[in-house]
Amino acid sequence: MARGTDSYFDKLQRTRAWRSVFRSGSGYSTLHRALAIQQNVFLHLFSTKVRRRMLTFRATWYLGALTLGTFFILVVTGILLMLYFHPSVPQAYADMKDLKFVVSSGMFLRNLHRWSAHAMVFLVFAHMFKVFYRGAYRPPREFNWVIGVILLLIALLLSYTGYLLPWDQLAFWAITVGSNIASAVPVFGGKVSFLLLGGHQVNANALLRFYVLHCVILPLAAALLIAVHMWRIRKDGGLYVRQSEPRIEPSAGTLRDSQPDDAVVKV
């Protein structure tokens, strides 16, 4: 695209420093825009093109993207909260009080983390049901659906492990209810519960283990699987479109719903 006047951004893009960072180079051509996706380690998880009608709100409700958005908020606010939090008893509870009364914007930080966590759990469920009702679990997307189910469990565990960290009555008893369930597993239930809590009841060891799970193990697992989840969307042929195919009136006798959509002749 010919541009009469170069903006500062155009000039910046042509600098040697910029070019050393961004492999795709500058420009407004379709090729450059494709390269901007393809040549970027993070963006290459996406395909370079997307079907226009999948961008409409009703196609996906943007639930997957919004879930990812809550994950980003949670990582940022979570790291900031870690600066003020000691995973020990009773200091953890005192830190909650400090966040409220001492740390500037501390309460806002904790609120944002908590409401985003609730939003993420809600959005993960909503995303799953939306994908199901669109029929987007169909082959070749089976495994991405399975990854999604695992991510649902990780989201629940992330939220659940975070629930204990404030070390107030709400946290303590919610986790106690949960760990009692774990110990009901036949044969090795007691062992599972012991491993999770680092003891026979919810105590300082449990707080430390939940902290490590919440801040290290589960977020890493989530980040890894989110990357695979999005990469598989591209590899499996982009967002599923059948539901937005032109509707054929059911009264025509046959139901198009039952036809495999990817009837592409494979050569």
Partner 1 sequence: MTEPKDYLAGVGSDIAKSQKRVLFVTRRTSTKVKVRDEEQVQTFPEALLRIAVAVELLVVALICASLLFDAPLEGIADPADTPNPAKAPWYFLGLQEMLHYFPPIVAGILIPALLVLALVVIPYFNVNIEAEGLFLTNRRRRLNIFYIASLGLSLFLLFFKVYVALVPTLIVAAFMLIAASSSLDSAKRYRRYLASKPASWWIMTWFLFELIVLTVVGTFFRGPGWSWVLPWKG
Q: Which positions from 156 through 185 interact with partner 1, judged by CB under 8 A?
A: 156, 159-160, 163, 166-174, 176-178, 180-182, 184-185
C-alpha dist (Å) from residue 93 to 57, 197, 207:
42, 18, 11
Pick the piece of the chain touching partner 1 (CB under 8 A) from 1-9, 12-20, 103-111, 217-225.
103-111
Structure tokens at 171: 């946290």
Angle, CA of 131, 137 and 141, to the nearest 5°: 125
Burial of 228 (0-12, 13-18, 19+ CB in 10 A): middle
Per DSSP, 214 falls in state I
Is 141 near partner 1 (CB under 8 A)? Answer: yes
d(CA 69, CA 165): 23
Region 208-237 residues binding partner 1, contact defined as CB under 8 A = none
Region 40-79 residues binding partner 1, contact defined as CB under 8 A = 43, 46-53, 55, 62, 65-66, 68-70, 72-73
Nearer to partner 1, 181 or 227 (CB): 181
d(CA 218, CA 222): 6
Which of 9, 42, 101, 133 touches partner 1 by CB under 8 A? 133
Question: Residues binding partner 1: what is the number (CB under 8 A)?
Answer: 98
Binding mask 17-36 for partner 1 (x = CB under 8 A): -------------x--xx-x
Which of 202, 213, 218, 233 touches partner 1 by CB under 8 A? 202
Is 261 near partner 1 (CB under 8 A)? Answer: yes
Per DSSP, 232 falls in state H
C-alpha dist (Å) from residue 34 to 157, 197, 229:
37, 49, 21
Is 199 near partner 1 (CB under 8 A)? Answer: no
